[in-house]
Structure 1
């Protein structure tokens, strides 16, 4: 994985789509999940939620435990 701050999203893209270059699409879906399900995640964010989502929208911003959970939740919702 490249060390450009997108490693979590690249790793997810690699596992989901077998191509780490889809990291932008994965980030977009994670941010969408965060926006649409605020109540699930806001208690785990150490800053204003809108600021957090805006920050996570930016390429190069490191993913964290919240974005990883949002990615897992999104994948589960898509599968159901």
Structure 2
């Protein structure tokens, strides 16, 4: 059961990080639309953040499947 609790805590942390990154993406998109000269940098940063968010989302999905396999009654974060 301890593994299940640890996995739930990890999932909660990763979901929180995805929310933070999504917020950063929205902020960068707003900044790049307001400042043309910084647009290229913001675009590159936004692409990097999206890639990181997508990787975390895939990791979360994989971990949720593992959690369901080891503890069917556990709730993913």
* Common fold: TM-score over 0.5: no
Q: Which has the higher helix share?
A: 2
- TM-score normalised by L of structure 2: 0.36
Structure with greater Cα Rg? 2
- TM-score normalised by L of structure 1: 0.35
